[in-house]
Amino acid sequence: MRGLIALLAAVSLLVPVPAQASEPPRTGFEKTGRWTTEAEEQAYLAATGLPVAQIGTTALGRPIQLVRVGSRSARTVVLFICSQHGDEPAGREACLIRMRSLPRNSSVAYLFVPNANPDGRVADTRGNSSGIDINRDHLLLKSAEARAMAAVIRDHRPDVIHDLHEFGPSAPYYVKDVLWLWPRNLNVAPGVHSLSESLSRSYVRPSVEAAGRTSGVYGIYVDPVTGEPVRQVAGDHQERILRNTGGLKHGMGLLVETNVDGAPAYRVDSHLKALDGTQSFVRDRRAEIEAANAASRAVRSGPIYFGGADNQPPAPGEVLTTPPCGYVLTGAQYREFSDELALHGIKSQYLRGGDRIVPLKQEARSIIPLLLDARAAEPLLKAAPVAQC
């Protein structure tokens, strides 16, 4: 009997035991139902095994990070900017959840800035620790957070930029679960503008509405009784907002906002459904996206607009029909603002005497006058336009 037992035991060692599937890492929100803490976020990112790079440091010393999913040689790049406003946490949670489920060998590179305002998230404030609204700083780049994102856009050249936000109580007019909007700035190339609007209307909208959410265009008050638009109150052309800046830098821009009146899990899931829409858009329209971005980068002529939007004609004085050849900066101006120009990917040439000229015929054409022309709404500096370079 002892021999039989020993034999059976030996045989049992040869029988393969099914491996237990390892549990995927979970966010603090998934575990507890409360927003993921700073420490939980870092532990979660480490547990995913995904490449995490530090792209900046906040004023209070917290890291600003970039997570990559997919091949480094991918031709198509999608960038998710998560919770620029620290008191709008649902987008961050959705990004953390989504990154772990994407295929790691994908031919599309998915980049996440999972916590675009680390100091504001800890303090539960809209702005960063200096009170700067980061989503109004993508032109002048005064904050470390906006500078980090500008460097990512310059270096990774995303084809699509999906910006996740939330909107506060605005009863009785903002009554939707999810709002979305494309770049309205008139300097955005037509192909990029058109596809951005298609992304919002034809992909994000049906994705969230199929899940039982109501949705609509951001920035428009809608009468809760008639359902008719009342007036435009937000979502304008301002180039300093990431939705517009992304379009000016040749990426399909998209803002998605969830309603903070909803339960936290509902808001996070709404963002996840919107992310589904963007992923479907990239899968279905990839060739068109790449062609539109290439055409946008190749633009070297045409009018410049200092005002107006795709839903608001510019005033005559806001249209520069014959743009200059370029802008001349004094040596002192260049020394003061060379970092910002470099972060925007703007090239300049040395002139005799130490001045610099920024020719308009370059890839950054659409944003140069908005930064250097005195007629712009919020120029970085006032350079001298020249007719000939």
Q: What angle, rounded to 10 degrees, do the helices at 331-343 and 144-156 form?
A: 70
Structure letter (DSSP) for residue 314: P
Could you tell me how far CA 174 lies from the centroid of its own chain?
Answer: 23
**Predicted pLDDT at 173:** 72
- Residue spans of beta strands (DSSP E) within 47-129: 52-57, 63-69, 76-82, 108-113
Contacts of 317 by beta carbon, 8 Å cutoff, 6+ apart: none
**Predicted pLDDT at 19:** 41
**Predicted pLDDT at 14:** 35
**Predicted pLDDT at 172:** 67
Q: Which one of the listed residues 41, 145, 257, 340 is annotated catalytic?
A: 257
For residues 233 and 173, what is the distance between their CA atoms, to the nearest angstrom? 11
CB neighbours (10 Å) of residue 221? 17
**Predicted pLDDT at 235:** 73
Q: Is the peptide bond before 172 cis (omega within 30 degrees of 0)?
A: yes
Instruction: Map out the domains of the chain as residue ranges.
Output: 31-297, 322-386
Local confidence pLDDT in tens for the 389 residues of the chain: 444 444 334 333 333 434 445 789 999 999 999 999 999 999 999 999 999 999 999 999 999 999 999 988 899 999 999 999 999 999 999 999 999 999 999 899 999 999 999 999 999 999 999 999 999 999 999 999 999 999 999 999 999 999 999 998 766 678 899 999 999 999 999 999 999 999 999 999 999 999 999 999 998 888 878 878 787 777 788 999 999 999 999 999 899 999 999 999 999 999 999 999 999 999 999 999 999 999 999 999 999 999 999 999 999 999 999 999 999 999 999 999 999 999 999 999 999 899 999 999 999 999 999 999 999 999 999 999 999 88
Backbone angles phi, psi at 267, to 5 degrees: -65, -45
Contacts of 245 by beta carbon, 8 Å cutoff, 6+ apart: 138, 139, 153, 239, 253, 367
Contacts of 184 by beta carbon, 8 Å cutoff, 6+ apart: 235, 236, 237, 244, 309, 310, 311
Residue with structure tokens 């070297």? 300
**Paired tokens of 255:** 């803002």
For residues 277 and 271, what is the distance between their CA atoms, to the nearest angstrom? 10
β-bridge pairing 304-305 and 178-181: unpaired
Residue 124 burial (C-beta neighbours within 10 Å; 0-12, 13-18, 19+): exposed
**Predicted pLDDT at 171:** 61
Is the domain spanning 31-297 CATH 3.40.630.10? The answer is: yes
Q: Is the dihedral angle over the CA atoms 355, 359, 364, 369 positive or is it negative? A: positive
Are 360 and 326 spatial neighbours (Cβ–Cβ below 8 Å)?
A: yes
DSSP conformation letters of 202-260:
IIIHHHHHHTT--EEETTEEE-TTT--EEEE-S----TTSHHHHHHHTTSEEEEEEEET
Residue 257 known to be catalytic: yes
**Which secondary structure element, helix H or strand E, spans residue 118, and what is its range?**
helix 118-123
Residue 300 burial (C-beta neighbours within 10 Å; 0-12, 13-18, 19+): exposed
Structure letter (DSSP) for residue 167: E
